[in-house]
Copies of this chain bind each other. A is one copy, B any other.
């Protein structure tokens, strides 16, 4: 801690974790933030567990070296496949996006049946299913690998994206019916997906509530750190430093879309990849 201010390290493979940072900023005005996007090695979502663990450990080590007092793993894939290893290698508290999403699902669901969508690696790990099962919930999971590229192409309001969302969700709901589930909650298990939330809500019955794991994580971090939620929309005076392992220009351009505001400065980092 510098001058008594808490330093929160937020880590993602790329830009999606900026939706978590965006949700954190108004909740924790008394903290400073370090954000690392491991953009030279993204996406993690299509890679193997061993590779993801290696990348996640070198990334979180960097944030600790920069003085982080608290780590938020704002990447579903890294949380799903490497949270245990990160916990073991880290002296500071660590919060991942999956437990927080599962907690929110438990609070929200009346039927106890939850749908989860995410990347190949997140879904293949069944980390959401395990976290939901621990909370007495049944889960049906589906990988939606085209949604990240569609968001990164900027097609967040595009009819092709709406059609892809419709196809994925229809397949998921059909499978739920075949397995005689009665889902009332959909967890967005990828930090890119909040940008497609309106499309998803349009493709679903209003009986299904959409849970954004980015917002759920920010809420839980604020509770853990004893902060009080400020009235909505109040701007804060947090200091944010942004680090990326690949092009800082691209980080500024694409990142602004996820953060919802301009990113003035990004520092290039070499993690040896």
Q: How large is the interface on A (under 10, 10 to 19, 20 to 34, 35 or more residues)?
A: 20 to 34
Q: Hey, which chain B residues are within 8 Å of A155, CB to CB?
A: 146
Q: How far is the CA of A40 from the CA of B150 in the complex (A)?
A: 22
In the complex formed, the residue of B with least CB distance to A120 is B250
Whether the Cβ atoms of A51 and B145 lie closer than 8 Å is no
Is A247 interfacial (CB 8 A cutoff)? Answer: yes
* Assembly stoichiometry (copies): 2
Is A232 interfacial (CB 8 A cutoff)? Answer: no
Give the one of A39, A160, A273 with max B CB within 10 A. A273
Q: How far is the CA of A28 from the CA of B158 in the complex (A)?
A: 45
The dominant DSSP class at the A interface is loop
Answer whether A246 and B146 are a contact pair too, CB < 8 Å, given A41-B273, A167-B160.
no
Q: How far is the CA of A164 from the CA of B245 in the complex (A)?
A: 30
Q: Hey, which chain B residues are within 8 Å of A146, CB to CB?
A: 146, 149-150, 153, 155
Q: Hey, which chain B residues are within 8 Å of A245, CB to CB?
A: 51
In the complex formed, the residue of B with least CB distance to A249 is B48
The minimal Cβ–Cβ distance linking A31 to chain B, given in whole angstroms, is: 31
Whether the Cβ atoms of A47 and B145 lie closer than 8 Å is no
18 A–B contact pairs at CB < 8 A? A40-B41, A41-B273, A46-B250, A47-B247, A48-B246, A48-B247, A48-B250, A51-B245, A51-B246, A146-B149, A146-B150, A146-B153, A146-B155, A148-B149, A149-B149, A160-B160, A272-B273, A273-B273
Given A47-B247, A48-B247, A149-B149, 16 more A-B residue pairs with CB atoms under 8 Å apart are A40-B41, A40-B51, A41-B41, A41-B273, A46-B152, A46-B250, A48-B250, A51-B246, A51-B247, A145-B152, A145-B153, A146-B149, A146-B155, A160-B164, A272-B272, A272-B273
Complex A-B, nearest 5 residue pairs according to Cβ-Cβ distance, in ascending order: A48-B247, A149-B149, A273-B273, A40-B51, A47-B246
